[in-house]
Amino acid sequence: MNLPSVKRMLFSVAVVALICGCGGPVEDPNAKPWRSLCEELLDPDRIARMDLPPSSIITSYDRTGGNDDYNNYVRTGPKGWWVLADIEGPGYITRFWFTGAEKGTHRVRFYFDGEKEPRIDTTMDELCGGREQYCWYSLVPISYARKLVVMTQKGGFKEGGWPRLFYQINHTSLPKDQPVASYPKMLTASDRDLIDELRGKWESAGEQWIAKPGENVLNDLILAPGKITECKMIEGPGEISVLEIVPDFSKISAPDRREAMLRDVILQIEWDGCGEKSVEVPLGDFFGSFWRRTRFNSMYMGMSGNRFRCCFPMPFKTSAKISFKHDGVEQLPVKVVSRVRKLDEWAVRHGYFHSCWHKTGPADVGRPHPIVIASGRGKYVGCILGVTGVDQSWWILEGDETIVVDGESFPRWHGTGLEDYFNGGWYYNNVLVRPFHGLTFRVPFRAVQYRLHPNDPQSFEKSIAMQFERGPGQASKGWMESVAYYYMATPVAAASSLGKRNERSLPVDQFAAVTILSEIINHERLGDYEGALGLTLDFLARNPEMPQGELLRLRAIAYEEKLHGFDAVKKKYEDFVADSTNEAAIAEAKLLLWFHESPNNALLGAYCNAGTDIVIDGKLAMKVDHPERLIVKPVNLAAGDHIMSVRAQWRRRVPWIQVCLRTHSGDFVSRPDWKWARNPIGAWASRDFDDSRWEEFGHPGLNGPPQIPYVKLMPNAFVGMQANAIGIQVPEWDQRRDTIGFRTLFRLQGPDVPGK
């Protein structure tokens, strides 16, 4: 069979173009067509509905209770294949997640309704549009009328059980009297237009799509310490479609106090005058700003500028009351904007929005971390989780999530590892934001991650207990802090355990002094340069005697250049050179000034844990080998085409290279599309070398770098270099200790040289 092309969907969601098959079962003319499932995804309010069918999950978790959550399949299939799922219809898959395969060419098959030949026979890359965070996943609904069997090529054929195949398949079963048509054998032009529309809606990251016409209810408040301050009552029936909160931190006395306010102030929401707070969560955490303000936008919550935003639909029958409990020591002005649309009537399909907060730590060894434990009828729709490992490892991420519904003796949902639940794997790569999941913070050994469930919520009739294992055997001494989002049929008290103000303080980071630059770079990767500047200044205020403080002070000026332009900071650079006594910082300041003296001036930066030579147009430009420091050198390049060649030799454990050439035409950085060869021969670094037989590198970037055991990253002033460049490590490089060659072509623009 010929495999048609695949349409890549933004945010790592792929649409598979199907193989045309012959014969097969006759479709029910009354069945809901596949495209209707996609149309339902265009309705942002469905996350608040209580009348939708529940979802289930099939995973490769270790049935013995251990931590070997891989190569556990339903049964063997044809020779060389394993059956991952055998599901009775009608229903549809809402999420397919997979990791552990050696390459994206690992195959997967979908058999529909008893067909002898697979209707979908494809690779992981083609099904999911490529790999992200070391995993493959797809959120495109795959419907089946009577039956669906999912198979993959078997793993476990090498020593140690490699490939170790992990998988999670979320699916929704429909009542027998609600038939659905199986995934079509060929997508029509109309189907593809619908997918394009859905992609565009998701790309908007929420607000423009979700926010509906309505009245803005404004409140300008002064939150006084030790007091509860209420907003104006909102009468129903209605729905809060957008909630915006803008704190004014300008009058707060110290930088660290501004961030502490995010947990000193508790957001509370009461529905229908029930007397209970159905939302009771620290202000920053509710919007995804764990530990400090973080500018990002998911589909339902985030932050832009100084504005916190929540787009979870919040319907209510008679009234909504928003209030703030201030446990801090300084008053805080806030502006609250609630966009409210009136409902013609209250319907039982509406659910009441709830949110709760929990924190557990070393004293809770032996017990799981609760995300939400609630009684009544409702559905769980997502969470944010911050973890801080204190075991000097990522062991805390080895815990599985479980969901027990309605008092059942066995979890209805059993995952395969903490980061797997958040569509990641292998302790993650770099920070990223997607509409329904993301990683907003990652340094050794701390991470903040979120996942939302508009398409695969976990419904319950009587009770729910959603928890994360505290590492294998509940043995990790680390900290876990979480916000849960869920809907209930009637308003009840939020299942929070807020404790006293000091009990909500941030966990101590034992590596903060050596990972501060990695933490700052997190903000850069999110495009949050304002947050990166704020963190830099806050850290300097808390650590005025830090040995590398001068380099961070210079980096703060470089952030001002990024935000306001070179002319706004040129004098600051010159004053820094004149006043500083730190030779390394002065040298970097001079490089930043020199860069702007000529359009041919460029800065070549390399951060490598391998013996690395960088050659430009056949001439050696830099030799570098330093696992803790970015090295930057000046280079002069005329407009036109150039070749960069990199020779990397194994030196020590976990070798990597990360390269960034900063020019006035933009940054040219190490990427998976660079060409490469193992142990290249001949004049391969020369400008005219024929590399047509070399392949693109193609492997995903590293988590970081640095990579464990190298945790320290020394400060520098070169904003964006390490955030933009991807760390590259060749598979098996650590064992074979080869010399690896890389090549890439880049073009510098000029009066007679157009961009490329």
Task: Give the confidence band of 4 by pLDDT, cuts at 50, 70, 90.
Answer: very low
CA dihedral 561, 563, 568, 569 (to 10 degrees): -30
DSSP 3-state assignment of 429? coil
What the block records as the tokens of 654 is 């976990």
For CA atoms 422, 423, 429, 430, the dihedral sign is: negative
Q: What proportion of the chain, given as a percentage, has pLDDT over 90?
A: 79
Task: Give the confidence band of 251 by pLDDT, cuts at 50, 70, 90.
Answer: confident
> Whole-angstrom Cα distance, residue 570 to residue 572?
5
- 50-54, 202-206, 693-697: which has the minimum mean pLDDT? 202-206
Task: Show Cβ contacts of residue 692 under 8 Å, excluding neighbours closer than 6 positions.
Answer: none
pLDDT at 124: 96
Task: Please determine, for residue 7, whether its predicted confidence score (pLDDT) is greater than 70.
Answer: no
Q: What proportion of the chain, given as a percentage, has pLDDT over 70?
A: 95
Task: Give the confidence band of 159 by pLDDT, cuts at 50, 70, 90.
Answer: confident
Cis upstream peptide for 709 (omega within 30°): yes
Task: Give the confidence band of 61 by pLDDT, cuts at 50, 70, 90.
Answer: very high
Q: What is the mean pLDDT of residues 656-670?
A: 96
Q: What is the DSSP letter of 618?
A: T
What the block records as the tokens of 385 is 């989780």
Helix axis angle for 549-564 and 570-579, nearest 10°, is 170
Gyration radius of the chain's alpha carbons: 27
**CATH homologous superfamily for the domain 7-203:** Protein of unknown function DUF2961 (2.60.120.1390)
CB distance 528 to 296 below 8 Å: yes
pLDDT at 751: 67
Task: Show Cβ contacts of residue 476 under 8 Å, excluding neighbours closer than 6 positions.
Answer: 365, 389, 391, 395, 396, 399, 470
Task: Please determine, for residue 67, whether its predicted confidence score (pLDDT) is greater than 50.
Answer: yes
Cβ neighbours of 123 (radius 10 Å): 18
Task: Show Cβ contacts of residue 576 under 8 Å, excluding neighbours closer than 6 positions.
Answer: 553, 554, 557, 585, 586, 589
> Whole-angstrom Cα distance, residue 662 to residue 475?
46
> Whole-angstrom Cα distance, residue 86 to residue 149?
4
pLDDT at 22: 41
CB distance 310 to 299 below 8 Å: no
The upper half-sphere exposure of residue 600, i.e. CA atoms within 13 Å in the direction of its Cβ, equals 7
Task: Please determine, for residue 528, whether its predicted confidence score (pLDDT) is greater than 70.
Answer: yes
Cα of first residue to Cα of last residue in the chain, in angstroms, is: 37
pLDDT at 208: 54
Higher pLDDT, 617 or 187: 617
- 213-227, 340-354, 474-488, 696-710: which has the minimum mean pLDDT? 696-710
Burial class (CB in 10 A: 0-12, 13-18, 19+), 376: middle
pLDDT per residue as tens digits for the range 186-203: 888 998 888 888 888 777
Cβ neighbours of 409 (radius 10 Å): 5
Q: Could you tell me the fold of the domain covering 598-756?
A: Jelly Rolls (2.60.120)
Helix axis angle for 512-525 and 529-542, nearest 10°, is 160
Task: Please determine, for residue 185, whether its predicted confidence score (pLDDT) is greater than 60.
Answer: yes
Q: What is the mean pLDDT of residues 34-45?
A: 88
* Extended beta strands in 4-73, E state: 7-9, 13-15, 55-59
Task: Please determine, for residue 504, whether its predicted confidence score (pLDDT) is greater than 80.
Answer: yes
pLDDT per residue as tens digits for the range 343-378: 999 998 999 999 999 999 999 999 999 999 999 999
pLDDT at 655: 92
Residue range 207-504, CATH number: 2.60.120.1390
DSSP 3-state assignment of 77? coil
- 123-137, 537-551, 558-572, 697-711: which has the minimum mean pLDDT? 697-711
- 3-17, 41-55, 290-304, 412-426: which has the minimum mean pLDDT? 3-17
pLDDT at 750: 79
Q: Which of 179, 186, 175, 124 is nearest to 150 (CA)?
A: 124
pLDDT per residue as tens digits for the range 11-25: 333 444 444 344 445
CB distance 300 to 291 below 8 Å: no
pLDDT per residue as tens digits for the range 87-115: 999 999 999 999 999 889 999 999 999 99
Task: Please determine, for residue 417, whether its predicted confidence score (pLDDT) is greater than 80.
Answer: yes
Q: Report the relative pairing of strands 228-230 and 463-468 from DSSP bridges.
A: unpaired
CB distance 262 to 223 below 8 Å: no
Provide the whole-model pTM.
Answer: 0.94
pLDDT at 206: 54
What the block records as the tokens of 197 is 């529309």
Q: Which amino acid is at 222?
A: I
pLDDT at 619: 95
CB distance 166 to 70 below 8 Å: yes
- 238-252, 490-504, 532-546, 693-707: which has the minimum mean pLDDT? 693-707
> Whole-angstrom Cα distance, residue 405 to residue 412?
7
List the beta bridge partners of residue 148. Answer: 87, 112
Q: What is the DSSP letter of 524?
A: H
Residue 343 sits at the vertex; the CA angle it makes with 337 and 347, to the nearest 5 degrees, is 125
Q: What is the mean pLDDT of residues 504-533?
A: 93
pLDDT per residue as tens digits for the range 388-402: 999 888 999 999 999
The residue ranges of every structural domain in the chain are: 7-203, 207-504, 527-597, 598-756
Average pLDDT of the chain to the nearest whole number? 91
Backbone angles phi, psi at 365, to 5 degrees: -55, 135
Note whether 7-203 and 598-756 share their fold. yes
Burial class (CB in 10 A: 0-12, 13-18, 19+), 55: buried
